[in-house]
Amino acid sequence: MEIELTTLGVVAVLVVVAVARFAPRFGIAAPIGLVLVGAGLSMLPGAPELPLRPDLVLMVVLPPILYSAAVHVNVTDFRRDLGTITALSVGLVIVSAVLVGLLVHALVPGLGLAASIALGAVVSPPDAVAATSVGKKLGLPPRLVTVLEGEGLVNDATALVLLRTAIAATAGAVSLGDVAWDFAFAVVVGAAVGIVVGLVSVQVRMRLDDPVLTTAVSFTVPFVAFIPAEELHASGVLAVVAAGLVTGHQGLSRFSAQDRLSESLNWRTAQLLLENGVFLAMGYQLTSLVEDVEVARESVGHAVLVALAVTGVLIATRVLFVAPLVAYLRGRERRARERAPDLAYALDRVADLRRSDERAARAARLDRLERMLRRRHADERFHSREGFGARGGAVIAWAGMRGVVTLAAAQSLPADLPYRAELVLVAFTVALVTLVGQGGTLPLLIRTLGISGPGPEVQRREMARLVRAITEPGLAALEGQGPRRPDGSHFDPVVLEEARQSGAGLVAVLSDDALAHEEDDEEALQARLDLLRQRRELKRHLVLSAQAALVDARASGTFSTQALARAQAALDAEVLREGSRLGE
């Protein structure tokens, strides 16, 4: 049995890699391809059964998937669209679960309303994996991708809390006040646990000087956040998301470049295998689910019809919910355009006050006020430039594919629940239909609507502005005699001039091979070595200055996530390249 499961696991990894590699060539998202491949594999003669325990997915697979996604989310973008994300991940999930519950209660005789709403909670949270993979590939505007990612991170918490409450209601009366209290407690305590775990984990990892050790610790963070929150009867999912957001934000200034790159690669690998493995398992489970319904002497046809009706309600509810949300966001866009000039004027006034009053205490207060106004001004400019139109709303409305949580939550329905086998098949059918139907047609919708992010020329201009913003502080420090070396001495004027002429000082320096062209004179060789060391010391100073300025630029919210990510990757690669030359 163990050998059979091991073989199945190895085959699953190879299938995931193969589908992820070749699915784009056929114009489909990898999750959709994996579901179809899994369904096909389950129909092969002699295909072994896959015992997929719901607690295995919810407690072992889901936390690292959510953490890996959250740690790469830009906190500034998440904050800017928190209202939209909350509306979709809380309001829409609750409305969808109740409406689906009413429908299932009417279509399945003998099934109580609480059990029907439990099924509604199972199928209510969309999975953003397929949507964002398609969106990024086709160049959706970054704000649409952020909203879909944010919704996918938070809506799982709402659905699981609602599922837990509905299951409890099947055993006895539960008041509306109890539901509201349980939800508020789960959200507040879960978020608090996640924030604390995120902050503590960052402090621990800062004190480890080995990337292998820091990455090993990072693998425990989602579980360290999830388990205590669940033990407190709070939302473990929300705790994991909060820990990931905190870690991703704090890591920009607290972790070394090598730590960031190593962690990013390892977590993306884990996310690829876990997330896509679940989609493969979803398709593979289809045959056994049909057999379970037949064994229970329930109707497969009826389950499919109910699933199609539920899918229709979910799609209609999402469309009707998104329409007024987009209208509200359009109004917010207009208000942002009106407020932006006032904030720009306030910033100018603060700058005038700083120039006219040099008192230190007042300068500190003005600095804080300027940072706050600059962030608000950047937010208003963002909302005025990156508005939601009808086309963007159409993409969000159609991106309602179900996935990982629906798979796990359906299996967690109580064993003594009436029509359990049929309800599980309904949930799986909804996930399959939405994933293949909506996910398969989403690229066509995006192309038809002509939605795209900023063009290459806009990105180049923004990158030029960002490079200037993060390199000017370091270049300003080169004026006069420049910064001092670690031993307190000044840099050689030749080195300073070369750094000034290199623009940002982030271009390639002389390699060690250049020493081979030196004369054999020992003094000349030593002088050359000293100049080379100085160049590298000054280069490091400039890179560290650029990193600090990049963190400030990210906090200000002035630049897009794409430009910031590209600049961060370039800086990290430069640090690693120069560090390897120094033997670090």
Side-chain-facing half-sphere of 241: CA atoms under 13 Å: 23
**Top-confidence residue, 460 or 33:** 33
Q: Tokens 């002088």 correspond to what residue?
A: 527
Model confidence at 311: pLDDT above 60: yes
Residue 359: other Cβ atoms inside 10 A: 9
- Helix pair angle (257-284, 561-581), 10° resolution: 120
Least confident of 298-312, 328-342, 357-371, 537-551: 357-371
pLDDT at 464 over 70: no
Determine the residue type at 186.
A
Report helix, strand and coil shares of the chain as percent, to nearest 5: 80, 0, 20
Q: CB under 8 Å, gap of 24 or more: what pairs does 131-135 form? A: 131/399, 131/401, 131/439, 131/442, 133/29, 133/30, 133/31, 134/29, 134/439, 134/442, 134/443, 134/446, 135/395, 135/399, 135/446
Largest Cα–Cα distance in the chain? 96
Residues 350 and 234 in one domain: no
Query: Which two three-digit tokens encode residue 404?
Result: 């990982």
Q: Which of 453, 468, 488 is at the close of a domain? A: 453
Which residues of 256-384 form beta strands (DSSP E)? Answer: none
Last residue of a domain, one of 392, 421, 453: 453
Indicate if 543 and 574 belong to the same structural domain: yes
* Mean pLDDT over the full length of the chain: 79
Burial bucket for residue 502 (CB in 10 Å: 0-12, 13-18, 19+)? middle
> Between residues 190 and 460, which one has the greater pLDDT?
190
Most confident of 56-60, 189-193, 349-353, 541-545: 189-193
- The candidate with the shortest Cα–Cα distance to 322, out of 479, 69, 88, 570, is 88
Beta bridge partners of 490: 484
| Tokens encoding 85 | 């994300």
Q: How many CA atoms lie within 13 A of 344 on its CB side?
A: 8
The model carries a pTM of: 0.78
| Cβ-Cβ contacts under 8 Å for 91 (sequence gap 6 or more) | 321
pLDDT given at position 174: 64
Q: How far is residue 431's CA from residue 409's CA, in Å, rounded to a whole number? A: 12
Domain count within the chain: 3
Q: Are residues 109 and 173 in the same domain?
A: yes
Confidence check: pLDDT of 240 > 90: yes
Q: How far is CA 278 from CA 129, 365, 395, in A?
A: 12, 52, 25
Q: Give the residue, 580 or 181, on which the prediction is more confident.
A: 181
149-195: pLDDT as tens digits: 888 888 888 898 888 888 888 776 666 777 788 888 988 999 999 99
Q: Do residue 162 and residue 274 come from a single domain?
A: yes
What is the token pair recorded at 285? 């489970």
- Identify whether residues 411 and 295 lie together within a single domain: yes
- The stretch 75-100 carries a mean pLDDT of 91
**One domain for residues 286 and 387:** yes
The first and second tokens of residue 209, run together, are: 């000087």
Structure tokens at 55: 């607690």
- Residue 369, domain extent: 336-380
Most confident of 90-99, 326-335, 474-483: 90-99
Tell whether 101 and 19 lie within a shared domain.
Answer: yes
CA 48 distance to own-chain centroid: 34
* Rounded CA separation 204/213 (Å): 11
The residue that leads in pLDDT, 4 or 477, is: 477
Same domain for 573 and 464, yes or no, is: yes
Q: How far apart are CA 455 and CA 434, in angstroms?
A: 31
pLDDT higher at 267 or 173: 267
Instruction: Tell me: do 222 and 291 sit in the same domain.
Output: yes
- Specify burial of residue 29 (Cβ count, 10 A radius: 0-12, 13-18, 19+): buried
Residues 296 and 371 in one domain: no
pLDDT of 195-209, one tens digit each? Answer: 999 999 999 988 887
* Of the listed ranges 234-248, 418-432, 531-545, 569-583, the one predicted with least confidence: 569-583
Picking from 407, 419, 228, 435, the residue whose alpha carbon sits closest to that of residue 306 is: 419
For residue 314, what pLDDT is reported?
A: 95
Q: Contact, 381 vs 560, CB < 8 A?
A: no
Indicate if 367 and 431 belong to the same structural domain.
Answer: no
Give the rounded distance of the alpha carbon of 293 from its chain centre. Answer: 37
- Of 276, 220, 287, the residue nearest 247 (C-alpha): 220
Q: What is the pLDDT of residues 13-32, one digit of tens each?
A: 888 888 888 877 777 777 77
Residue where a domain terminates, one of 411, 432, 453? 453
Would you place residue 369 in the very low, low, confident or very high pLDDT band (cuts 50, 70, 90)?
confident
Average pLDDT of 57-84? 86
CA nearest to 381, candidates 327, 349, 414, 335: 335
Model pLDDT, residue 532: 63
Spatial contact of 342 and 393, defined as CB atoms under 8 Å apart = no
Q: DSSP for 467-514?
A: HHHHHHHHHHTTSTT-PBPTTSPBPPHHHHHHHHHTTTS-SPPPPGGG
C-beta atoms surrounding 352 within 10 Å: 10
* Cα 438 to Cα 128, 391, 557, distances in angstroms: 12, 16, 33
d(CA 530, CA 420): 76
Give residue-wise pLDDT tens across range 519-548.
445 566 556 656 666 777 777 777 778 888
Q: Is the pLDDT of residue 304 over 80?
A: yes
Specify whether the CB–CB gap between 38 and 279 falls below 8 A: yes
Lowest mean pLDDT among 105-114, 190-199, 233-242, 464-473: 464-473
Cβ proximity of 132 and 68 under 8 Å = no
Q: What CA–CA distances, in Å, run from 298 to 115, 291, 295, 424, 521?
A: 17, 10, 8, 12, 92
Decide if 64 contacts 219 (C-beta within 8 A).
yes
Instruction: Say if residue 315 is in the same domain as residue 442.
Output: yes
CATH of the domain at 47: 1.20.1530.20
